[in-house]
Amino acid sequence: MTGAPDPLQSRAVLIGTGHYKALGEIGAVRNNLDGLAEVLRADRFWGLPSANCVVVEDPRTSADMLDPVNVAAQNATDTLLLYYAGHGLIDPWRSELHLALVESDAQRIYTAVPYSQIRDVLLDSRAARRIVILDCCYSGRALGQMASPAAAVVDEASAEGTYVLAASAENKAALAPPGAQYTAFTGEFLAILHTGIDGRGPLLDLDSIYQHLRAVMQGKGLPVPQKRDRNTAGQLALIRNQAFHQPPDVFGMEGPGRATDPPARVRSDAVTVRPVPRIDISSLNLGADLGSGDQGKVTAVNTLLVSGQPAALKTYSPGAVAALDTDALETIVGFPRQLGPDDIRWLQDNTAWPSIVVEDSGVTCGFLMRTVPLAYYFDFQTRTRGTRRVLADMAFLLNADAYVASAGMSVSERDRLMLLKSLAAALARLHALDVVVGDLTPKNLLFSLSPEPGCFLIDCDAMLVRGETVLPQMQTPDWEVPSGEPIATVSADAYKFALVAIRLFARDQSSYDSAALAALSPELGRLADISLGSDPSRRPRPAAWIRTLEGH
């Protein structure tokens, strides 16, 4: 498990007790929780969905603290991370660490939660890797507890098991400077996550973080942290390294990282940049299959980042390779270099744009792109197969509300309007850059409802970019422009955008009836009717829809 932890299969529980009735206040704890949650949830660091990163502030009872840990432990299959900040208390009879609650009292040790209870919950988890970060007085006591005889059986069953990072030595109080934004340990820990570590690869492993943290805190005269790991736990990647920079002259690619398997290493000399970045497929450490279609398949790429995000490889089928216009693919890959910084960032954030040409012994066979952001997946509930994490393509929304609700999602009229506005803005921006989508269908459009409804475009190699196309333009059945009309033009995009608008509110896969849209807004209905007209020159462009959509 040398790649980054899978955010969808991982869980984090961040616990902090800063307010007490009988112990000294630690005002920085709330900032600790907020700062760490922000980092863990951000795509550029780890990208944990909010539901997978739970914050427990000022727990009052054992259940307040243990219940969220137990739920996370039962659901995590990749990585389980537990963080606690607050007072640590020592049992005078057993010298064991207890984690303080709001009403804990040092004279009544039973009012705090024994760390051994936390340990037992963690060791009962199916998670392949378990990480404990303790920022409290006497947190070093947890190092010995995690190695108790009861844990031996679990360790044998989990080769890459447990990593404990403790803020201070067993007999030395952790430092919380008065008035500081964070406690000393968490502040330095967050600083490393934000700035990264020079000289390391695209992913930071636990030992690298620990060694750097220890050196920094020792240099500042602060209590040095301790750690205990099981087997190779310290070599496990935790988070993306913000100090890692892409190789010179290679647009959008970051690698190689510290791959542990030599054949899978992506060498810096494996990438050439004339006229555009390219790499041989033999240099890639390929992971799981992500999807397939008539033109090829998409596969995850380990230990490699594109546009600051995990990379994916699209390889073309033999039939597609035979029809491939390699010059056009190079045009698309090189296209962002011709844009300004704002447009580059927009493409990176809102599309799976081809970034690097991939060859097989000198023959173009595909390209690298960023993976789809986690926000554009959802948990699809089925009666026979349970819950599955799937891409949130907009075709899902062209169904009756009862079906959408039965699959576990609630989508309001406002959500649909906001999604349509997001798509209109995306098309307007692409058209301004001389890019036509062409085969504009809901299967190529992904949606997210949080934090605000938005769209993400995939299959970008099928677009017409400044007059060039990688493969012959195609049309999806039921999404064709009128017979005899060119199929990859701004007017064709306007026609298909109107179909999206009509069908999104009709809750229907093939409707041409604008009645549902007009009932919501007569002006939107009028725009749709004009857009479906046979005269392409009269169709309002997607940008013309935005003002009306903003009024709802």
Could you tell me if residue 433 is inside a domain?
yes
Which of the four pLDDT bands, split at 50, 70 and 90, describes residue 23? Answer: confident
- Would you call 398 helix, strand, or coil by DSSP? coil
Q: How far apart are CA 381 and CA 59, in angstroms?
A: 32
H-type alpha helices, 264-377: 318-323, 326-334, 341-350
Could you tell me if residue 170 is inside a domain?
yes
CB atoms within 10 A of CB 428: 18
Stronger pLDDT, 157 or 171, i.e. the higher one: 171
In a shared domain, residues 405 and 538 = yes
The residue with tokens 């922000």 is 38
DSSP string covering 476-518: -TT-PPSTTS-SSSHHHHHHHHHHHHHHHHHT-SS----HHHH
Could you tell me if residue 298 is inside a domain?
yes
Task: Write down which residue in 240, 274, 306 finishes a domain.
Answer: 240
Q: What is the pLDDT of residues 517-528, one digit of tens each?
A: 999 999 999 999
Q: State both tokens at 37.
A: 């949650």
Domain of residue 355: give its range. Answer: 253-370
In a shared domain, residues 186 and 298 = no
Listed in sequence order, the residues at least 6 apart from 84 whose beta carbon sits closer than 8 Å to its beta carbon are: 15, 16, 99, 118, 133, 134, 135, 136
**b vs e for 17-54, b when ≥16 Cβ sit within 10 Å of the residue's Cβ?**
bbebeebeebebbbbbbebbbebbbebebbbbbeebbb
Could you tell me if residue 440 is inside a domain?
yes
Whole-number pLDDT of residue 173: 46
Q: What is the pLDDT of residues 394-410, one digit of tens each?
A: 999 999 999 999 888 88
In a shared domain, residues 232 and 257 = no
In a shared domain, residues 56 and 86 = yes
Which of the four pLDDT bands, split at 50, 70 and 90, describes residue 233? Answer: low
Whole-number pLDDT of residue 42: 86
Whole-number pLDDT of residue 359: 94
- Whether the Cβ atoms of residue 211 and residue 227 lie closer than 8 Å to each other: no
Say how many domains are in the chain.
3
CB-based burial of residue 427 (10 Å sphere; 0-12 exposed, 13-18 middle, 19+ buried)? buried
Mean of all residue pLDDT scores within the chain: 83
CB atoms within 10 A of CB 128: 20
Could you tell me if residue 296 is inside a domain?
yes
pLDDT at 502 over 80: yes
Could you tell me if residue 49 is inside a domain?
yes
**b vs e for 341-355, b when ≥16 Cβ sit within 10 Å of the residue's Cβ?**
eeebebbbebbbbbb
Which of the four pLDDT bands, split at 50, 70 and 90, describes residue 235? Answer: low
Residue 23 backbone phi and psi in degrees, to 5: -120, 165
**b vs e for 290-329, b when ≥16 Cβ sit within 10 Å of the residue's Cβ?**
eeeeebbebbbbbbbbbbbbbbbbbbbbeebbeebeeebb
Task: Write down which residue in 195, 213, 240 finishes a domain.
Answer: 240
pLDDT at 123 over 70: yes
Q: How far apart are CA 456 and CA 102, in angstroms?
A: 44
pLDDT at 2 over 60: no
Whole-number pLDDT of residue 304: 81
Mean pLDDT in residue range 117-128: 87
Q: How far apart are CA 436 and CA 497, in angstroms?
A: 12
pLDDT at 271 over 50: no
The number of angstroms, rounded, from the C-alpha of 251 to the middle of its chain's C-alpha atoms is 21
The residue with tokens 């009932």 is 519
In a shared domain, residues 228 and 264 = no
Could you tell me if residue 391 is inside a domain?
yes
- Radius of gyration, alpha carbons of the chain: 27
Task: Write down which residue in 332, 347, 370 finishes a domain.
Answer: 370
In a shared domain, residues 201 and 311 = no
In CATH, what number is assigned to the domain containing residue 267? 3.30.200.20
Stronger pLDDT, 231 or 461, i.e. the higher one: 461
In angstroms, how far is the first alpha carbon of the chain from the final one?
Answer: 48
- Would you call 519 helix, strand, or coil by DSSP? helix
In a shared domain, residues 167 and 276 = no
In a shared domain, residues 210 and 277 = no
Q: What is the pLDDT of residues 45-60, one digit of tens each?
A: 888 888 899 999 999 9
Closest CA to 240 of 291, 196, 185: 196
Which of the four pLDDT bands, split at 50, 70 and 90, describes residue 90? Answer: confident
DSSP class of residue 355?
Answer: -
Mean pLDDT in residue range 125-133: 88
**b vs e for 444-466, b when ≥16 Cβ sit within 10 Å of the residue's Cβ?**
bbbbbbeeebbbbbbbbbbbbbe
In CATH, what number is assigned to the domain containing residue 62? 3.40.50.1460
457 Rama class: left (phi>0) / alpha (psi -120 to 50) / beta: beta
Mean pLDDT in residue range 486-509: 96
Mean pLDDT in residue range 291-304: 86
- Whether the Cβ atoms of residue 490 and residue 536 lie closer than 8 Å to each other: no
Closest CA to 148 of 230, 234, 232: 230
Beta strands in 267-323 (DSSP E): 271-272, 278-280, 285-293, 296-306, 309-316
Listed in sequence order, the residues at least 6 apart from 402 whose beta carbon sits closer than 8 Å to its beta carbon are: none
- Whether the Cβ atoms of residue 45 and residue 89 lie closer than 8 Å to each other: no
**Among 136-145, 283-292, 428-437, which stretch is predicted with the lowest mean pLDDT?**
136-145
In a shared domain, residues 344 and 416 = no
Whole-number pLDDT of residue 176: 67
